Homo-oligomer: A and B are copies of this chain.
C-alpha cells in the first residue's frame, strides 16, 4: 500500500497558496475539518475561494477564516448563521455565489467521477439559471452545471488508515465523501488513524486513491448549532 500519512495539519496544508480554490467538507458545523481550519488560520493564506455548503458561524468553522479576511469568495448553498459574513458581503469585501445544495454536491461528484458537466432541474426558471445552458430531456428542463475544479479538498472523517481509506460517522458524512473525490489534492483529517489492514474493505466510504494526505487530528470541539432535546 501507499502511505499517505503526514505529520499534522500544518504539514498537510503547507502548499496551499493565496488565491487558490479549496473545498471544505461539513454541513453546518457537523463534520468540518477543525484542525485544518486552525492551520489555515495560522498560515494566514488569503484570497481563498472556498467551496463549502455553509460558512460556519461567527466564531467557529469557516467563520474564523472570514474573521481573518482570508476568504475572497464563498461558493455555498446556505450561509445564514454568520453576522461577520453578512457584514463583509454587504460591504463588498466578500463575493458569494449561492447555488442549490444538490447542485453543489453533484458538481463535486462530477469532478470525482470525471464527468465534465451534469444536468439538474434545480434552479430552472430562477435567477440561478441566468447565463446557464438549459436543455429539455423527456419534456423536463435541466440546467447544465460544470464539475468543480478545486486545487485542494479538505475533509474530516471519523476513522482512516495509513493508505488513506476513510470511514465517516453518522451525518458527519454529508459533503465529505464527494469533496474527497473532487480535489486535485485531497487532505483528510481523522479522529482515529489506524494502520492499513485494520479497516474492513467493505466498509470504506472513501477509497485511499482519492486521498493524498492524511493525519490524525486532535482537540475536536464538535460544536452543536441547534441543541434540540426531549425530556425523558
Please give the residue numbers on chain A whose beta carbons come within 8 Å of chain B beta carbons, in ascending order: 106, 113-121, 137-138, 140, 142, 167-170, 173, 201-203
Report the minimum CB–CB distance from A149 to chain B (whole Å): 9
Report the minimum CB–CB distance from A42 to chain B (whole Å): 32
Among B106, B114, B137, B167, the residue within 8 A (CB) of A202 is: B167
Q: 6 nearest interchain CB pairs?
A: A116-B137, A203-B203, A116-B119, A115-B118, A115-B119, A116-B142
In contact, B117 and A119 (Cβ under 8 angstroms):
yes
Q: Which B residues lie within 8 Å of A120 (CB)? A: 114-115
In contact, A202 and B115 (Cβ under 8 angstroms):
no
In contact, A202 and B116 (Cβ under 8 angstroms):
no
Q: Which B residues lie within 8 Å of A116 (CB)? A: 119, 137-138, 140, 142
What are some 22 contacts across the A-B interface (CB < 8 A)?
Answer: A106-B113, A106-B115, A114-B120, A114-B121, A115-B118, A115-B119, A115-B120, A116-B119, A116-B137, A116-B138, A116-B140, A116-B142, A117-B119, A117-B137, A118-B118, A167-B202, A168-B202, A169-B202, A170-B201, A170-B202, A173-B202, A203-B203
Residue ID in chain B nearest A146 by CB atoms: B137
Q: Which B residues lie within 8 Å of A142 (CB)? A: 116
Q: Which B residues lie within 8 Å of A202 (CB)? A: 167-170, 173
Q: Which B residues lie within 8 Å of A117 (CB)? A: 119, 137
A113, B103: Cα distance in complex, Å: 12
Chain B CB within 10 Å — which of A116, A120, A201 has the most? A116
Residue ID in chain B nearest A169 by CB atoms: B202
